[in-house]
């Protein structure tokens, strides 16, 4: 199985992998591509069960999602890469940096959590989606992705991300919910060696900024930044601020550290 990925930027530039959130694809990162692809070979992949990637039967685990990313790196002939992931993408990033530290140079974790219970809520969401309820869940899920002010000002953008969610294969979405249900990465974080930037969003109800602070405390070489006026998809709501933070983190010699 090879994950689907979209590649932008110079072929000889350092590779920056971008991992997206549950119910989105690599297109979620579109607001940052122009700001990153001049300095990096930006590889936006779709998680297993999402977008153009294969949808094997679930349940999945974060280990499985992480091993698939290692397979993608092997397929691309890339030894090591920078990695930025939002939400589910951040969970996979934590797993990669802890379990394959030689493959991850610098790490950024956005709007994510090392342990996102309660497990029974995620298992119930998985069961509902398997029973055909992804469409009826969509408004509730998307209401956590954007602040009310952004949703009112940018209805077309919100509708586009809602469409991305409802286009997700239900079997893949459900299997990834089960991966989140079973996940507890807290004890792994002490093993992360990559210099890490943890980004929380002040108005994120899904993975509140306290989750970002907890991750930053557990990773030895981590810094914490909190983006204002943004909910869960902070890279969409505050594209320039997030792009600035990522550039400064991934090119520390050329940028200004936050």
Whole-angstrom Cα distance, residue 49 to residue 47?
Answer: 6
Cα distances (angstroms) measured from residue 82 to each of 102, 150, 176, 249 = 11, 30, 23, 10
Asked if 179 contacts 19 with a C-beta cutoff of 8 angstroms, the reply is: no
Site for ligand LWBT4IAB (CB under 6 A): which residue of 22, 129, 199, 216?
Answer: 22
Identify which of 19, 20, 21 has the alpha carbon closest to the alpha carbon of residue 206.
21
C-alpha–C-alpha distance, residues 230 and 204, integer Å: 7
Site string for ligand LWBT4IAB, 177-196 (x = CB under 6 A): ---x----------------
- Cβ neighbours of 199 (radius 10 Å): 30
Residue (53 or 87) nearer to ligand LWBT4IAB, CB: 87
Contact present, 17 and 81 (Cβ < 8 Å): yes
Applying CB under 6 A, the span of 20-28, 94-102, 155-163, 186-194 interacting with ligand LWBT4IAB comes to 20-28
- The closest alpha carbon to 201, from 240, 230, 158, belongs to 230
Closer Cβ to ligand LWBT4IAB, 177 or 224, answer by number: 177
- Residue, CB closest to ligand LWBT4IAB: 87
| Residue 235 contacts ligand LWBT4IAB per CB under 6 A | no
For residue 204, is it left (φ>0), alpha (ψ between -120 and 50) or beta?
A: beta
Neighbouring CB atoms inside 10 A of 137's CB total: 16
Q: Least Å distance between CB 92 and ligand LWBT4IAB?
A: 10
| 87 is a site residue for ligand LWBT4IAB (CB under 6 A) | yes
- Beta carbon nearer to ligand LWBT4IAB, 21 or 196: 21
Q: Tell me which of 106, 232, 247, 249 binds ligand LWBT4IAB, using CB under 6 A.
A: 232
Number of amino acids touching ligand LWBT4IAB (CB under 6 A): 10
To ligand LWBT4IAB, the closest distance from the beta carbon of 121 in angstroms equals: 10
The footprint of ligand LWBT4IAB (CB under 6 A) covers: 21-23, 87-88, 141, 144, 180, 206, 232
């Amino acid at each position: 199985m090879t994950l689907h990925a979209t590649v932008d930027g110079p072929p000889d530039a350092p590779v920056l992998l971008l991992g997206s959130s549950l119910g989105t694809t690599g297109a979620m990162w579109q607001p940052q591509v122009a700001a990153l692809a001049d300095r990096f070979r930006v590889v936006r992949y779709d998680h297993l069960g999402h977008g153009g990637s294969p949808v094997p039967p679930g349940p999945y685990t974060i280990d499985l999602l992480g091993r698939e990313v290692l397979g993608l790196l092997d397929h691309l002939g890339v030894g090591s890469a920078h990695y930025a992931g939002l939400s589910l993408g951040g969970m996979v990033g934590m797993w990669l940096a802890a379990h394959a530290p030689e493959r991850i140079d610098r790490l950024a974790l956005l709007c994510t959590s090392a342990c996102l219970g309660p497990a029974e809520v995620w298992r119930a969401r998985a069961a509902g989606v398997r029973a055909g309820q992804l469409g009826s869940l969509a408004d509730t899920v998307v209401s956590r992705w954007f602040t009310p002010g952004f949703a009112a000002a940018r209805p077309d953008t919100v509708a586009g991300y809602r469409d991305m969610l409802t286009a997700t294969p239900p079997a893949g979405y459900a299997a990834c919910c089960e991966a989140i249900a079973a996940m507890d990465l807290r004890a792994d974080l002490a093993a992360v060696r990559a210099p890490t930037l943890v980004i929380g969003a002040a108005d994120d109800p899904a993975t509140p900024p306290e989750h970002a602070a907890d991750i930053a405390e557990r990773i030895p070489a981590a810094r914490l930044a909190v983006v204002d006026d943004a909910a869960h998809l902070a890279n969409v709501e505050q594209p320039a601020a997030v792009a600035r933070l990522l550039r400064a983190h991934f090119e520390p010699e050329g940028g200004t550290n936050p």
